[in-house]
Amino acid sequence: MGLPADHMAELRRGAFPIPLAGEFSDQERELLSRYGYWLMALATGAISPITPEQDRFVHVAKGEAEPRSAFELVWARYQWTATPDDSRGDPCELADLFARLESARFEEATAQDVYASNRDAILEQVRPLLEALEFEFGDRLRSMSEVLVRLQSEVREAVLAFGASFRHSGLNATYSRGRISWDTNGLTRYMDSHPEVAKFKRVGKPWVSLRFQPLEENSPSEERSREMQTKPAMESQHEQRDATKSPAR
């Protein structure tokens, strides 16, 4: 039995537009591009389901069942990408939070610069003592470090050959079996032709990575840095003048 005319009309509409923000695999993009209009018509009720599979797809699209088949999974991802979600918050509030983070970065960078400058000044006063200490202990510590690295490598190789965790003299070497990994792309291709395995798929929680741009030289922190560096110097000059005016005891 062929498909009804309204189903065929949706299938002949051409390529379905895929959201740029969506993280779809190549197989999912091909599936959505080819069947997207038909899936949308089923999900919105524009056409009626005629098979149990299509009826279940409609329930999944309404949030009444968990997605399992390839069609259900790709449409669930499309819905999350294309549908506005009030729980995502106000973009203006997000932009304000970004600005506060950037300001905090400037503040922290300024403090780090002042700290490094003051630390260098202090180290310069004791540099001869540090150089003498390095001359006395440097070669001995480097030699000891090389021995430690070599022994640690030998212990690891020995425990691997032993095949089990081992503890002795305050040292606990934990043996771990090789990590099992799967070919994600291969499994995805297999799932396209065997949608029944989709029920074993688990999707973890989303995460966010932050990538900072280099701080600009002409930033508000430059002025703050000059203020932080100038203020102690001015205070020191005032103290020296006050000391010269004080009567000697």
Measured distance CA(67)–CA(96) in Å, rounded? 36
At 239 the pLDDT is 45
Beta bridge partners of 166: 173
At 42 the pLDDT is 95
At 241 the pLDDT is 45
Lowest model confidence (mean pLDDT) among 48-62, 90-104, 129-143, 171-185: 90-104
**Does residue 198 contact residue 56 with C-beta atoms inside 8 Å?**
no
Lowest model confidence (mean pLDDT) among 18-22, 63-67, 221-225: 221-225
Position 164 pLDDT exceeds 80: yes
> Residues in the chain, how many?
249
Beta bridge partners of 172: 167
Mean pLDDT, rounded, for 17-42: 86
Instruction: Assign 225 a pLDDT band (cuts: 50, 70, 90).
Output: very low
Instruction: Assign 120 a pLDDT band (cuts: 50, 70, 90).
Output: very high
Lowest model confidence (mean pLDDT) among 4-8, 42-46, 204-208: 204-208
At 89 the pLDDT is 56
pTM of the model: 0.41
Look up residue 207 and give its two tokens.
């995460």
**DSSP per-residue letters across the chain:** -PPPHHHHHHHTS-PPPPPTT----HHHHHHHHHHHHHHHHHHHTSS---SHHHHHHHHHHTTSS---SHHHHHHHHHHHHHS--GGG--HHHHHHHHHHHHHHHHHHHHHHHHHHHHHHHHHHHHHHHHHHHHHHHHHHHHHHHHHHHHHHHHHHHHHHHHTS-EEETTEEEPP-PPPP---HHHHHHHHHH-GGGGGG-----------PPPPPSSSHHHHHHHHHHHHHHHHHHHHHHHHHHSPP-
At 182 the pLDDT is 86
Measured distance CA(68)–CA(180) in Å, rounded? 24
Task: Look over the chain and give the mean of its residue pLDDT values, rounded to a whole number.
Answer: 81
